[in-house]
Chains A and B, each alone.
Chain A
């Protein structure tokens, strides 16, 4: 698992990258009440806003961590956005990307580095 400065986690699953937000981020956001997911088969560049998370407090953007194509989204979040709080690293995942070069993930933090950042 890799982590971004924006508190996303990235998990390689075959040739896909699964993206979600960390437990720390979910806690900071508070109770999530709405998740706006991207269209599938969308090409995105690194840093594009792909997901909007609305908590009871405010809206936040989730950025594409790398360049690639959105191939799947977690449709369960449309009806049960609270999964982001209940299981941020599991059932609360956001989207899957097809990435040309998985080596692009090397620049991101590992778990220890991420934990140091939020400490």
Chain B
């Protein structure tokens, strides 16, 4: 793994028995000795600690010092209401391209006098260049020297409150800066598991001590990428490059909820983002296909790439699974994929080609498991 970058907490992962694999250019722990299934269930039952330091943390600082400048600059690239985002609040979004496809998905936070944006590891260099080119009125820079940890699960608030006394006062998608042992923690109450929890940016020099403190809590186990994937799949959350990419529009991706009124036709700042023509049209008229949840019958998982058919025999494929596996909390296989809109009706049966056999799967509402966010 010579060409791979190492996380700041690499030694911690080795000490914890993490099995390291290449992911998005980094050596990352895919699982610890507990194993994917138990790590998943532990996160749902207590609290899991994830190292997501590979992700890109970006600061967007307006050159004129006005947050509105940064918000409007970012709105040139994403179909999201950034101007309406209150200080200390976070919101999901995505960069679109001229054809209405998705370049990456992101979380954006209003931090009073600047924006804090978290993007995917595999896209972060491209995202940074994209933002710098389109936002000459802002200084856009990657944050260096900070780890990003996620603490997720029903015990997360109690665990973090032992270190940060008012952590429990954060609501879902609140963001704040809190001192801990002489450094600033950037804390968001959000995550990628469908659980209550936090994402915490911590300076590298304090990251090991902070992670050790969290792991010393009996409620906390380290969780690898394997369980991160099954947790987000149960929560119906997209994995960029799989469930959404440049070939999928946000409407096809069933992400209309993330595009607020202000950016839609008739809104105060309608359009003005790449691909607006197509995206606004699809918002009004619907798309020809959509991302849906699928519950395969029986126990055989339908993996990414599985072709979907409308009938048990004959015909051409009508869609494809983009994420699929086993949902430990549901004790059943689950998947997400794209189907033509007429088939995107709950209860519709489609057929996935699994090793040459067409097995039935039922179109299901997402998420598979209701989220437990503290709103």
Contact = CB atoms under 8 A, between A and B. Distances in A.
Q: Do A and B bind each other?
A: yes
Interface of A: 30-31, 33-34, 36, 52, 54, 56-59, 78, 81
B193 interface: no
Interface in B193-247: 226, 230
Given A56-B328, A57-B226, A31 B299 contact: no
Contacts, number: 42
Contacts of B325: 56
Nearest to A36: B300
Interface string B35-50: 1111010000000000
A58 B326 CA distance: 10
B300 A54 contact: yes
B226 A34 contact: no
Contact of B301 (A30, A31, A54, A78): A54
B326 A34 contact: yes
Main SS of the interface on chain B?
Answer: mixed
B295 to A, nearest CB: 14
Interface of B: 30-31, 35-38, 40, 226, 230, 299-301, 303, 325-326, 328, 333, 355
Give the 8 A-B residue pairs with the shortest CB-CB distance, closest first.
Answer: A31-B37, A33-B326, A56-B36, A34-B299, A54-B301, A34-B300, A56-B326, A30-B36
Contacts of B333: 33-34
Given A56-B326, A57-B226, A31 B300 contact: no
Nearest to A49: B355
A34 B301 contact: yes
A30 B357 CA distance: 25
Nearest to B328: A56
B334 to A, nearest CB: 11
A81 B38 CA distance: 15
Given A56-B328, A57-B30, 17 more contacts: A30-B35, A31-B328, A33-B37, A33-B301, A34-B299, A34-B326, A36-B300, A36-B355, A54-B300, A56-B230, A56-B325, A57-B36, A57-B226, A58-B303, A59-B301, A59-B303, A81-B299
A83 B230 CA distance: 21
20 contacts: A30-B31, A31-B35, A31-B38, A33-B37, A33-B301, A34-B301, A34-B326, A34-B333, A36-B300, A36-B355, A52-B355, A54-B301, A54-B326, A56-B37, A56-B226, A56-B230, A56-B325, A56-B328, A58-B303, A59-B301
